[in-house]
Amino acid sequence: MKKYPIIFLSVFLWKCTAPENTVTILDPVTAGQENGVRTGLDVLLEDYSDYLKGKTIGLVTNHTGISRKGEKNYKLFENNPDITLKRIFAPEHGFYGEASAGAKVEYDNQKDSGPEIVSLYGKTRKPTAEMLDGIDLVIYDIQDVGARFYTYISTLGIVMEAAGENGVNVMVLDRPNPLGGEIIEGAILDTAFKSFVGYYPIPTRYALTVGELSQMAVKEGWLSSVPPELIDRSDVIFHLAAAVGVKLIVEAPVHTIETNVHGTEVVLTHANKKKKLVIVASTSEVYGKSIEVPFREEADIRLGATWKHRWAYACSKALDEFLALAYWKERQLPVIVVRLFNTVGPRQTGQYGMVIPSFVRQALAGQPITVFGDGSQSRSFTYVGDVVGALIKLSAESRAIGQVYNIGNSHEITIRALAEKIKTMTNSSSEIVTIPYDQAYDAGFEDMPRRVPDLTKIHELIGYVPEVQLEEILSQVINYFKER
């Protein structure tokens, strides 16, 4: 994912770093009763003008980009001898506010001198690499309306994504939300209906300034870009993010597949630019319905039918593995794939069906401990600290590159026995209740009867032996929930 580092001032300076662009925000500041409120533009020019020295900038703006003195932003930049205003990007309605809603706008740029004006509501809505070439900083300065369907904020998001993809920093000059920040109204946009008039999953009246919205879009991962600076500063990239949990997988297979596959694609694309080592976290789920237990990395995998959404997660992570190893083979990007077996520890959420935190919470609350299926399915649980230690050791081992490794614990326990152990350790009076898979998930749901790793390969390479066993793991998790 693209990087969008952010700085909040009163100018939203978004420093573009591919997956994580760096964004700097300069927000409106109250300057005293006499002077009133300074916009981000005022704050930039009055307090942070040195930041612009020597920079070539692109300006996303329209007729609303004025200072508190009524001065046009582009004129202020043009007249500043320390900076070069190379290009102006105009949103819907045009640079001068001359076009009606939905009307396409283009500019001839017949001027012999001065910045080129490019419409982002004509032939393209997204700045191309050519348009951003030679630009050190993109500055966004438009007065927002405060309603989700007004497209100025959509243009902001698209510009940030383009900047992230091209390694250009972005600065957002913030301005007050004319509707205020106290009232939020309207339904939150369903991302399945994302469009140019609805670019973010926010309410119709969202009560944020454009700077605050930009920060939220970055932190929530709504944008699809990553900053090179972050890659540059990294020695190793641990790609652990994914859509996980059986409940989520069954209920939202599209989200699961798109999140996992696209997320990995973005990480590998940007890591490849600098040839940084990437450790890709896969899952024991990829072994699917295999009966060759314990699972060996070199063994064939066997998944269920494609119409059974339960296997969407396993398929998406298997595709992640294929893609990562293809990057190694074809483009010499150093990658290591690790298949994690039920990693657990304190602070883990049970939100998506993680069994140990779910059982512990139920037991401590005196609620029924719900076992899905008949409880005969078995799992092997691995302490998060053991996993982290293994990841660090693998990252320092060149022989691991281009390989797949299991990380887990070979101690096996049935889910029924796990429920009984947790009930005993918590002194709970909870009843253990079994719920048929058809009721818990979907009709025809298939589970993996056993999930036990063969740890020979990773042990021979780095001497991996899990140190924390199930009893201690459960003790830590129980104490964590007791103290909350």
Count Cβ neighbours within 10 Å for each residue of 121-147 and write b for 16 or more, e otherwise.
bbeebebeeebbeebbbbbbbbbbbbb
Find out whether the peptide bond into 203 is cis, omega within 30 degrees of 0.
no
CA torsion through residues 57, 63, 67, 72, sign = positive
Do the beta carbons of residue 448 and residue 425 sit within 8 Å?
no
Single out the residue of 344, 336, 320, 225 nearest to residue 277, CA to CA: 336
Task: Output Rg (C-alpha) for the chain, integer angstroms.
Answer: 27
43: left (phi over 0), alpha (psi -120 to 50) or beta: alpha
- Positions marked catalytic: 313
Tokens 């870009």 belong to 225
DSSP state of 59: E
List b or e across 250-270, with b for residues whose CB sees 16 or more CB atoms inside 10 angstroms.
beebeebbebbbebbbbbbbb
CA distance 309 to 253: 6
Tell me if residue 128 falls in helix, strand or coil.
coil
